[in-house]
């Protein structure tokens, strides 16, 4: 049962971006139009595929103030919520790294085929992170499932061999994978909300801080932090946290204006969207628009698009009440992790 206080437009855009993400991942780049796919690393521009993941990151941030406020309203303390944030973030990061490394397996050295290793990994992930109904009443059974899953994961990690020199053929963090990036972005954003709650100006300062990090990193002025890159590179680069935090800013603004039935929601989001777009194109003089390089111009342009697309869907769904057209999308948005992992298993 979906809560009647739930923001349907958030679920719909989360589901839409997730389905688009799965769609573009399966594209044959040799036959599709250039505007539909990803641009090359050195290209100055972006296709539809270069916006989709930032669109999902934006919605991750937008959902945070509503999700954490719900926890506060039911009596959770900051310490409880902090544990939840860390657990969820680490879970996403671990799953992301495992998925990233599944493509690097050397079957001969590992003793398992790529497909068998990946299948065992997904089974263990579902067993360990599944939200079991009546878990307290079935504590021994649920604990057994989780211990079995943990044993499988430990076995897979120690069996893993890539046959490459990097990290002696063991697991690497690399670019952390899609879920890993979401985990890092969620970690920063959720703790930002925990600290600043519904303060628009303090949240804006956090957004600008990570935009500044993104600019400094792109100018190579943070190279002295290179030893930390394998561990904290996502934070140092600033791009992913910046995009998720723009979503948080949007969520905080929506939450505050919605609570007062303020009619300024639409013009506010349009103004923010246009400001981000214009700022992104201004920064293009110094930074190319590049998803692969994670440039600030690309991050700002994507954020501008995110503000504008969100407010359009918000107007259609939450204000006009036209939501039947998105009935097939909402389940994917409400169960996004399960949808993403299930399709990964099928492929």
The residue with greater pLDDT, 143 or 35, is 143
The helix/strand/coil state of 332 is helix
Separation CA 286–CA 289 (nearest Å): 10
- Residue 163 is predicted with a pLDDT of 83
The helix/strand/coil state of 105 is coil
* End-to-end CA, the chain: 30
Average pLDDT over residues 165-178: 86
- Residue 139 is predicted with a pLDDT of 86
Average pLDDT over residues 193-207: 95
Q: How confident is the model at residue 1 (pLDDT cuts 50, 70, 90)?
A: very low
Q: Would you kindly state where each structural domain of the chain is located, as residue ranges?
A: 8-75+200-218+233-339
| % of the chain exceeding 70 in pLDDT | 94
Q: How confident is the model at residue 7 (pLDDT cuts 50, 70, 90)?
A: confident
| % of the chain exceeding 90 in pLDDT | 56
Tens-place pLDDT, residues 204-223: 999 999 999 999 999 999 99
Q: Residue 58 CB: number of other CB atoms within 10 A? A: 31
Whether residue 261 is predicted with pLDDT greater than 80 in this model: the reply is no
- Print burial letters for 102-115: b (CB count within 10 Å at least 16), e (below 16): bebbeeeebebeee
- Residue 137 is predicted with a pLDDT of 81
Q: Where are the alpha helices (DSSP H) in 103-238?
A: 107-110, 114-129, 139-159, 177-196, 200-218, 229-237
Helix (H) or strand (E) holding 79: helix 78-102
Q: Is 111 left (phi over 0), alpha (psi -120 to 50) or beta?
A: left
Separation CA 125–CA 121 (nearest Å): 6
The answer to whether the CB of 121 falls within 8 A of the CB of 102 is yes
The answer to whether the CB of 261 falls within 8 A of the CB of 254 is no
- Residue 263 is predicted with a pLDDT of 72
* Crossing angle of helices 78-102 and 48-73, rounded to 10°: 150
The residue with greater pLDDT, 263 or 272, is 272
Q: If 0-12 CB within 10 Å is exposed, 13-18 middle and 19+ buried, where does residue 20 land?
A: middle
* pTM > 0.85: yes
The residue with greater pLDDT, 270 or 15, is 270
- Sorted by sequence, the CB contacts under 8 Å of residue 332 that are 6+ apart come out as 14, 15, 18, 19, 339
Q: Residue 342 CB: number of other CB atoms within 10 A? A: 13
Tell me what the pLDDT averaged over the chain comes to: 88
Separation CA 94–CA 116 (nearest Å): 19
Separation CA 124–CA 118 (nearest Å): 10
Residues shown for the chain = 347
Tens-place pLDDT, residues 80-136: 999 999 999 999 999 999 999 988 898 889 999 988 999 999 999 988 888 888 777
Tens-place pLDDT, residues 298-334: 999 999 999 999 999 999 988 888 888 877 787 777 7
Whether residue 2 is predicted with pLDDT greater than 60 in this model: the reply is no
Tens-place pLDDT, residues 12-69: 988 888 888 877 776 666 666 776 777 777 788 888 888 999 999 999 999 999 999 9
Whether residue 148 is predicted with pLDDT greater than 90 in this model: the reply is yes
Separation CA 247–CA 66 (nearest Å): 12
The answer to whether the CB of 171 falls within 8 A of the CB of 160 is yes
Whether residue 337 is predicted with pLDDT greater than 90 in this model: the reply is no
- Residue 224 is predicted with a pLDDT of 94
- Residue 85 is predicted with a pLDDT of 94
The answer to whether the CB of 222 falls within 8 A of the CB of 233 is no
């Amino acid at each position: 049962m979906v809560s009647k206080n739930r923001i349907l437009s958030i679920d719909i855009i989360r589901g839409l971006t997730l389905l688009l993400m799965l769609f573009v991942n399966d594209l044959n780049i040799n036959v599709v139009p250039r505007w539909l796919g990803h641009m090359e690393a050195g290209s100055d521009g972006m296709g539809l595929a270069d916006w989709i993941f930032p669109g999902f990151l934006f919605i991750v941030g937008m959902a945070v103030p509503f999700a954490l406020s719900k926890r506060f309203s039911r009596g959770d303390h900051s310490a409880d919520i902090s544990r939840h944030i860390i657990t969820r973030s680490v879970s996403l990061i671990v799953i992301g790294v495992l998925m990233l490394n599944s493509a690097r397996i050397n079957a001969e050295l590992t003793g398992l085929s790529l497909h068998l290793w990946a299948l065992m990994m997904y089974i263990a992930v579902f067993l360990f992170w599944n939200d079991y109904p009546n878990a307290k009443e079935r504590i021994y059974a649920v604990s057994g499932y989780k211990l079995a899953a943990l044993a499988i994961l430990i076995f897979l990690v120690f069996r893993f061999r890539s046959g490459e020199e990097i990290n002696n053929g063991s697991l690497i963090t690399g670019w952390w994978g899609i879920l890993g990036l979401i985990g890092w972005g969620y970690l920063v954003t959720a703790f930002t909300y925990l600290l600043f709650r519904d303060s628009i100006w303090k949240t804006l300062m956090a957004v600008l801080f990570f935009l500044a990090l993104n600019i400094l990193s792109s100018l190579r002025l943070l190279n002295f932090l290179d030893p930390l890159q394998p561990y904290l590179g996502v934070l140092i680069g600033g791009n992913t946290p910046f995009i998720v935090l723009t979503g948080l800013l949007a969520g905080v603004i929506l939450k505050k204006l919605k609570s007062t039935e303020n009619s300024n929601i639409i013009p506010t989001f349009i103004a923010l969207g246009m400001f981000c777009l214009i700022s992104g194109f201004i920064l293009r003089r110094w930074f190319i628009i590049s998803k692969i390089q994670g440039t600030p111009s690309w991050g700002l342009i994507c954020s501008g698009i995110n503000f504008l697309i969100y407010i359009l869907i918000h107007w259609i769904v939450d204000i006009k009440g036209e939501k039947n057209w998105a009935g097939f999308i909402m389940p994917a948005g409400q169960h996004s992790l399960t949808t993403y992992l299930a399709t990964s298993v099928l492929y």
